[in-house]
Amino acid sequence: MSVSYRQPGVVLTDRRFTVPLDHADPTGETIELYAREAVASDKAHQDLPWLVYLQGGPGFGANRFVGRPSWLGRALKEYRVLLLDQRGTGASTPANRQTLPLRGGPAEQADYLTHFRADAIVRDCEAIRPEVTGGAPWAVLGQSFGGFCTVAYLSLAPEGLSTALITGGLPSLDAHADDVYRAAYPRIERKVVAHYARYPQDVERARRIADHLLSHDVVLPNGYRFTVEAFQSLGAMLGAGDGSHRLHFLLEDAFVRTPHGHELSDAFQEQAQNLLSYAGHPLYALVHEAIYGQDTRPTDWSAERVRAEFPRFDAAKALAGDEPLLFTGESIHPWMFDCDPALRPLRETAQLLAARTDWTPLYDPARLAANEVPAAAAVYHDDMYVDTAHALTTARTVRGLRTWVTDEFEHDGVRAGGPRVLDRLLALARDEA
């Protein structure tokens, strides 16, 4: 039974659906999906078109909005919105260290997780769409990995879409994970250099913290082993519009004087563990590189291997000289499965996924070249998380796709830009701009 309730200016309804784990075996095992329907209070009884929102990630549930903030307020002017918790996330059937052992050992868990990529998410959408819309096509808004899913949607089931809107999420159609990270590390370095130009005092602060971590065994209150590599990974914040400022505030009060000398403060450690822990989104760590798997080559911890090609990211070498410490970005590494207590039980499972060689294609270039769905994409210039050159190459493949290339926003533009980003994309898709 669905349950409806109100927040300021919006009526929300909890929706639950049952879908096959493997859509190629529709009579086999099933899992549950959760979605939250949102409609403007003054339009609650109107027959409105639908927009389904696909969150970034992979591994994150849909936004838990209060009221009508950000892009949602603009969407609710003309749509009913379905905020979908993609399989394995949020209130959908979970996949984490507590539940995955129900599958069996690491091999069974890895096999299970092969069903948590963009193609399965698209099939989920198509399975629930008739129940939600009565069979009518719906619009999709895909942020980041949700944009990857949207391109897969245009490849696999374009008949289900009335409009395709993408923000910061045009994937390469054929790049191996190695290609993705070879393009990423120079971008990450540019973001770090820009951060230090804005906050030059952070050069010494970051070096001091890194030096402390190289010479001390630090375990955060939640049991996370806080290594220098883990500290560097906090640079993932630099991909957001306010990320440089948040990183600066994190670094400015890292140490406190104690009877035993200077130590990392409890406040700093508390913030760091909240930023580093994958307890709330373990799927991100487990299948992040798998979203780039499309052929017989394993991903094989691509971000870790490719990082070795960029020695400036080596913290010990930077500290041995006078180089600034380089932070890293949105990447997953094998050491995370040693450091994070939420991931440690899943290390062997992750290793099996990294070694897998039977990934199936996610995108259909021929079908994209024949696309007839009105489509628009925001491409954030020098996006830290998604390579601009890869994105524009894909944009040229999708027939009729209109792009808005902008450096006004970082990767989180659809959130930070409020209604403006969605407004612009709708105008482009409708040939009104």
Beta bridge partners of 141: 53, 165
pLDDT at 2: 80
Catalytic residue (one of 85, 92, 119, 144): 144
Catalytic residue (one of 25, 47, 217, 358): 358
Identify which of 213, 209, 385 has the alpha carbon closest to the alpha carbon of residue 303: 385
- Does residue 1 register a pLDDT over 90? no
- Does residue 136 register a pLDDT over 80? yes
φ and ψ at residue 258, rounded to 5 degrees: -125, 170
pLDDT in tens, 97-132: 999 999 999 999 999 999 999 999 999 999 999 999
pLDDT at 281: 96
Catalytic residue (one of 115, 212, 281, 411): 411
pTM here is 0.96
CATH number listed for the domain at residues 3-174+363-429:
3.40.50.1820
Q: Is 144 a catalytic residue?
A: yes
pLDDT at 279: 97
Give start-end residues of each CATH 3.40.50.1820 domain in the chain.
3-174+363-429
Averaged pLDDT for residues 402-409? 96
- Does residue 421 register a pLDDT over 90? yes
Whether the Cβ atoms of residue 195 and residue 238 lie closer than 8 Å to each other: yes
Identify which of 232, 234, 253, 251 has the alpha carbon closest to the alpha carbon of residue 317: 232
pLDDT in tens, 60-87: 999 999 999 889 999 999 999 999 999 9
Averaged pLDDT for residues 377-405? 97
Question: Number of H helices and number of E strands within the chain?
Answer: 18, 11
% of the chain surpassing 90 pLDDT: 96
- Does residue 180 register a pLDDT over 70? yes
User: How many residues are listed for the chain in this entry?
Assistant: 433
Q: Is 277 a catalytic residue?
A: no
Q: Is 265 a catalytic residue?
A: no
Look-up: residue for tokens 């993408």? 166
